[in-house]
Amino acid sequence: MKEKNLVAATLTAAMILSTGLVTVPVMAKEDGEPYKAALLLNGTLGDKSFYDSANAGLEALQEELGDDKFTFKVEQMGATSADEAKWEPTMYDYCDDGSYDVIICGTYQMLDALTNAAADYPDQKFIFFDEAFDFSTGGEDNVYNVMYKQNEVSYLIGAMAAMMTTDESLDMIDPSNKIIGFLGGMENSVINDFLVGYIQGAKDVDADTQVALAYVGNFYDSAAGKDMALTQYQNGADVGFNVAGSAGLGQIEAAVDAKRYAFGVDSDQAAVLPDYAANIPTSALKNVGNSLIRAIKEDMDGELPYGTLEYLGLSDGGVELVEDDHYKEVVPEEIRTKIEDLKQQIIDGKITVPTALGDDAMSEDDIKALIDSAKVG
């Protein structure tokens, strides 16, 4: 319970203080009943990452508005292959209930279930995050879609990793090589968006940087994630970045065992994992909770643009880098100054970070070429 409360507090602070989110009045429902949301997770809480961020955002909104204006329920459907069969039936159960103003779900794994439910329940509203919804199949009136420019914040992580890996002032660095690690959950467009930003950021700082790459094959097996990360550290990587949900916690454990560094993702993992904080220089936040607060407030005011896909990046608080006192203690000032400059250049449009998503997505061949250009060996 303490960890859950810490996650909520940490993410609430990140959302409200660092993204510029302000408290605004919202319209009460005409029937006097609270606005009611359902958060369907194709996973479980406790990942110290993606799903905890979504839940923490709704907890923060409930605390801000009060139970008389907003309530929500979380359904933890599980993430294993055995759990997949119940995702769509659970979605339909919540639609059949009919009492929810909005049903929230996310990730590419929920796309088929949502597509079917949105067509079968045209009067039910949905918020879909972290994967693109195909509006050519329907959903123009009842699906709002939000995605994140994770390539922008991962560019900063990659640049930082490339600078840290040769910095002799850092105790857990072997400056004799230029190898950094990346651990993905599964290979898909969102993970590739993280990856291309990470590689490009590293190579823009030092073209000789090499990236050790591995995929767990799922987002829940932390033991497998730890084994893969340990292999990367043993083979020369001294800084790693995980984008693997609960499986990515294994990389952080591996970093502690190997006395190396691992960047956090989706939540401030140095704060929620204080015993491992010395090995976590900072975290790349994907502010899922922030985006849900924003969307629900707009919906309560009748202003949420259903039928549209919005991308949120560094300039609008959709993603960010944790830059707290811990970050300042671990990361040398010279590196932090360079990262701040790169961040501002991205916000100002002076740096365009390659992406694996949307109309500007790199081709599969170009993604492969970028990966190959940084491949170890």
CB of 175 within 8 A of CB of 168? yes
User: Of 111, 132, 124, 131, which Cα lies nearest the Cα of 50?
Assistant: 131
State the CATH class of domain 2-148+287-316: alpha beta
The pTM of the full predicted model, rounded to 2 decimals, is 0.84
Provide the terminal-to-terminal Cα distance of the chain, rounded to the nearest Å. 45
* Chain centre distance of CA 348: 23
| CATH topology identical between 2-148+287-316 and 150-282+322-374 | yes
Who's near 86: CB < 8 A, 6+ residues apart? 77, 78
> Between the CA atoms of 317, 280, 209 and 313, what dihedral angle is there, to the nearest 10 degrees?
-10
**Which amino acid type is present at position 106?**
G
CB count, 10 Å around CB of 310? 15
CA 7 from centroid of its chain's CA atoms: 14
pLDDT average per 10 residues of sequence, the chain (377 residues) = 34 38 46 93 85 93 97 94 94 98 96 97 97 92 96 98 97 94 95 97 98 96 98 97 94 98 93 96 94 97 96 94 97 98 98 95 96 91
The edge-to-edge listing of strands for the beta sheet with 102-106 is 70-76, 35-41, 102-106, 126-129, 143-148, 309-312
| Three-state SS sequence of the chain | CHHHHHHHHHHHHHHHHHCCCCCCCCCCCCCCCCEEEEEEECCCCCCCCHHHHHHHHHHHHHHHHCCCCEEEEEEECCCCCCCHHHHHHHHHHHHHHCCCCEEEEECHHHHHHHHHHHHHCCCCCEEEECCCCCHHHCCCCCEEEEEECHHHHHHHHHHHHHHHCCCCCCCCCCCCCCEEEEEECCCCHHHHHHHHHHHHHHHHHCCCCEEEEEECCCCCCHHHHHHHHHHHHHCCCCEEEEECHHHHHHHHHHHHHHCCEEEEECCCHHHHCHHHHHHCCCEEEECHHHHHHHHHHHHHCCCCCCCCEEEECHHHCCEEECCCHHHHHHCCHHHHHHHHHHHHHHHCCCCCCCCCCCCCCCCHHHHHHHHHHHECC
Q: Are strands 179-184 and 210-215 parallel, antiparallel or unpaired?
A: parallel
**CATH level 3 topology of 150-282+322-374:** Rossmann fold (3.40.50)
> What is the Cα–Cα distance from 245 to 252, expressed in whole angstroms?
12
pLDDT at 276: 97
- Give me the amino acid identity at 280: I
Q: Where are the domains of the chain?
A: 2-148+287-316, 150-282+322-374
Q: How far apart, in Å, are the Cα atoms of 277 and each of 230, 255, 269, 281?
A: 18, 11, 8, 7
Q: How many CB atoms are closer than 10 A to CB 41?
A: 24
